[in-house]
Amino acid sequence: MGKITVETCEIEGLKVITPTVFGDARGYFMETYHYNDYKAAGIPMEFVQDNQSASRRGVLRGLHFQIRYPQDKLVRVIAGEVFDVAVDLRKGSPTYGKWHGVILSAENKKQFLIPKNFAHGFLVLSEYAEFVYKCTDFYHPNDEGGIIWNDPDIGIAWPTAGLDLILSEKDQAWGGIRELK
């Protein structure tokens, strides 16, 4: 019970994880995280904090990262659907500045593993979405960095057609990847 399928992405370190879902006429059951299964799959991370947010259609959160206290994140959606994105910010990485996006939804139950030193963001595609994630370090409010969501040097292909985007003032004010120190 609790086995997972792990897909690697073209950017080293990023993984899309699909848990085994056991369903019948009553509904379903799945393990959303089991340390031993993740460790056996080469993901021996220990998570210390869980977070949850709710957003409406068109909300774009990100692109965020922690500067001195970077976090690995395991993200998923429990209601609705989002387009989730990670951008490689690892110094010296051959894929620095490259991005990968994945649709996460309550229906597909996929999870996205985002290692330390990646920027992260998501766009809500459904009328409403609840987004949950596990982190390997605690959130430090004075340690947050960001990159503007539409930086042309990164070129994320956000699926914005038909959406009225809603961003926080902070997320509208981030600079581009070239401005990172």
Active site residues: 64, 133
- The neighbouring-strand residues paired with 121 are 62, 85
Residues near 57 by Cβ (< 8 Å), separated by ≥ 6?
124, 125, 126, 127, 128, 163
The Cα 155–Cα 58 span in angstroms is 19
Structure token pair of residue 27: 């509904």
